Amino acid sequence: MRELLSGNEAIARGAFECGVRFAAGYPGTPSTEIMEAFAKYPGVYAEWSPNEKVAMEVCIGAALAGARALVVMKHVGVNVAADPLFTASYTGTNGALVVITADDPSLHSSQNEQDNRQYARFAKIPMLEPADSQEALEFIKIAFDISERFDTPVFLRSTTRVSHSKSVVTYDESRIHDERKTEINFNAEKFVMVPMNARKRRVVVEKRMESLRQFAETFSENRIEITNPDVGIITSGISYQHAKDAFPTYSYLKLGMVYPLPVGLIRYFASKVRKILVIEELDPFLEEQIRALGIDVTGKEIFPYTGEFNPGIIEQAIMGKVDPQCRLPEISIPQRPPNLCPGCPHRGLFYVLGKLKVFVTGDIGCYTLSFMKPLEGLHSCICMGASIGMAHGMSKALGEEGRGKIVGVIGDSTFLHSGITPLLNMAYNKSDAVIIICDNRTTAMTGMQEHPATGFTLQGEKATSVDLYALVKTLGIDQISVVDPYDLKAVRSAVKAELNRSGPSVIISRRACVLFKRDKTSPRKPLLNDPEKCNGCRLCLGLGCPALAWRKRDLEQVANDVSSKNQGVAVIDQNLCNACGLCAQLCKSGAITEEKR
């Protein structure tokens, strides 16, 4: 069978083929589609866990019961899941555990650009790195075999290009393996990581690393292609594809396993070529280890440390110029800054916050875009869940000076991911900050995934839906209010009231994402702006709504119009307007209405 699959779809397919029937993850670009694709295979269990740490623990448990378990996350998700993972490296897996880390060089959709190959060395866990969809399908199977054979978690690292590019994949329907047998296993010495047991396991980990190093020497996916004795390139993953495109005739050592490295194979390759280049995106991960072997290589002194590579970048670094054939086509498209959708429920809230003289500690989600003009309603963003702790820390540090000036905002999915404990902390340590949960009933930013408050599972089954109000109350917050962010007055008075109060408080700003309402019963008609009534005050444009534009009046019109000297009027794009009504609330001249035409 031949099919065009993205790297993510191929990972899901390969996992299913090799008997994986258990997967957990938390959404995050560029990894999200792996879980979404896997969940559709027959007879599998797949869940969105509330965060990556939980997903990791769920899969460690499944593996302990003998399953082949797949845990999926984006690169920063591994930071969240690192605690259980590092010790699962000691316990081993019993069944099999493969961790997908989908890294994002060039930060297409991430808050940082960390190179998760470092985690393999840090946690003493082997790591495979596919270069295209076919390899993604094959490598995930190999990863599970390695996990079982060496009793270790295994990383499979993808990057955005591999995860999201589609290439032809050949697979064999008849090679689908059955689910592994599961059973309860008791082995306290191996699975109870108190110091006396962990010390013994620590030694096992080092022995395992030695066996893996030997395995790497003959591992078929660490592949040598000797063609040109002058230049040899050591590379892996997507960098291999780019390097091959730019320099098809050089010799290559393509590493399918980037940790641990095949030292003997590298020495052998070095003996066959006169000059070695190490081509890798982000950190000099391979380069430093190869240099440590005493092998002279050229690497980051010519290749960039940051961002994705492409054949042009590689050619420029090596040759000092780019062959036009290697140059990426120059496409001239107008700059289009990201913006909240027309009708986005976050807009009303952040319009109000931007007008108040408060510091808003932000979090990650669609609403993070509110930091930009014209809203400017969010002033920091570090990582998922950070807003609440930061708001608390700021208000404590500022003391009296900060009273009534610190607000933290967090999305519903992010609150359930990592906002609960910092809110508990705020209640416990008597904070003064105001927290706003932007509850749009979905995980909008990554494409509308379910979470524990939506009432549905990843596989579409009905589930219990946590009551955010009750949850916040249980954490010890007594002052809670709920507002509709489509009602500017209500939002303003709720925020002001909470800022004037002492002690921690929470406002739930509740309105379903305009792109994803389960209730589709009452679509509203786009609003109209009457150019005769519009006084050109531009107040409505302060919302930054993509459905609102400014139309200049020509000079003659302005000169002839005795009633108004407006230079222009606001216009509402009828194809974009979702009738949230915010602009009508701001319009003092009554020009914006819900009128019939």
Ligand X SMILES: Cc1ncc(C[n+]2csc(CCOP(=O)(O)OP(=O)(O)O)c2C)c(N)n1
Query: Order of strands across the sheet with 127-128?
Result: 45-48, 22-25, 68-74, 96-103, 154-159, 127-128, 257-259
Residues 149, 145: Cα–Cα separation, whole Å: 6
Nearest residue to ligand X by CB is 411
| From 54, 69, 76, 127, residue interacting with ligand X (rule: CB under 6 A) | 76
Sign of the dihedral through C-alpha 448, 452, 458, 460: negative
| From 14, 28, 126, 262, residue interacting with ligand X (rule: CB under 6 A) | 28
Name the minimum Å distance from CB 135 to ligand X: 25
The rounded Cα 327 to chain-centroid distance in angstroms is 29
Nearest to 105 by CA among 57, 144, 177, 159: 159
For residues 421 to 440, the per-residue mask of contacts with ligand X, x marking binding by CB under 6 A and - elsewhere, is -----------------x-x
**CB closer to ligand X out of 346 and 405:** 346
Q: Which of residues 494-553 bind ligand X (CB under 6 A)?
A: none
Name the minimum Å distance from CB 523 to ligand X: 21
**CB closer to ligand X out of 431 and 446:** 446
- Answer yes or no whether residue 35 interacts with ligand X by CB under 6 A: no
**CB closer to ligand X out of 236 and 414:** 414
Name the minimum Å distance from CB 14 to ligand X: 23
Name the minimum Å distance from CB 570 to ligand X: 26
Stretch that binds ligand X, among 283-291, 411-419, 459-467, 553-561 (CB under 6 A): 411-419
Q: Which of residues 146-205 bind ligand X (CB under 6 A)?
A: none
Stretch that binds ligand X, among 40-48, 74-82, 233-241, 574-582 (CB under 6 A): 74-82
Q: Which of residues 562-591 bind ligand X (CB under 6 A)?
A: none
Q: Which of residues 215-254 bind ligand X (CB under 6 A)?
A: none
- Answer yes or no whether residue 8 interacts with ligand X by CB under 6 A: no
- H or E element, residue 97: strand 96-103
**CB closer to ligand X out of 48 and 171:** 48
End-to-end alpha carbon distance in the chain? 56
The rounded Cα 494 to chain-centroid distance in angstroms is 32
**CB closer to ligand X out of 239 and 454:** 454
With a CB cutoff of 8 Å and minimum separation 6, the contacts of 35 are: 12, 23, 25, 27, 46, 48, 72, 458
| From 30, 130, 411, 452, residue interacting with ligand X (rule: CB under 6 A) | 411
For the beta carbon of residue 575, count every other beta carbon within 10 angstroms: 8
Q: Which of residues 363-382 bind ligand X (CB under 6 A)?
A: 364-367
For residues 78 to 117, the per-residue mask of contacts with ligand X, x marking binding by CB under 6 A and - elsewhere, is --x------------------------------x------
| From 414, 431, 505, 529, residue interacting with ligand X (rule: CB under 6 A) | 414
Name the minimum Å distance from CB 485 to ligand X: 11
Nearest to 52 by CA among 90, 29, 70, 78: 78
Q: Three-class SS of residue 83?
A: helix
| From 99, 384, 477, 545, residue interacting with ligand X (rule: CB under 6 A) | 384
Backbone phi, then psi, for 19, in 5-degree steps?
90, 10
Stretch that binds ligand X, among 33-41, 76-84, 231-239, 301-309 (CB under 6 A): 76-84
| From 310, 431, 446, 505, residue interacting with ligand X (rule: CB under 6 A) | 446
- HSE of 126, CA atoms in CB hemisphere, 13 A: 35
Name the minimum Å distance from CB 418 to ligand X: 8
> If you search the block for the tokens 């970048």, which residue do you land on?
313
Residue type, 154: V
Would you say 125 and 251 are in contact if contact means Cβ atoms under 8 Å apart? no
Residues 114, 336: Cα–Cα separation, whole Å: 26
Burial class of residue 184, CB neighbours in 10 A (0-12, 13-18, 19+): exposed
Backbone phi, then psi, for 18, in 5-degree steps?
-95, 20
- Answer yes or no whether residue 442 interacts with ligand X by CB under 6 A: yes
Stretch that binds ligand X, among 22-30, 89-97, 287-295, 425-433 (CB under 6 A): 22-30
Partners of residue 158 on adjacent β-strands: 102
Residues that bind ligand X (CB under 6 A): 26-28, 52, 74, 76-77, 80, 111, 364-367, 384, 411-414, 438, 440, 442-446
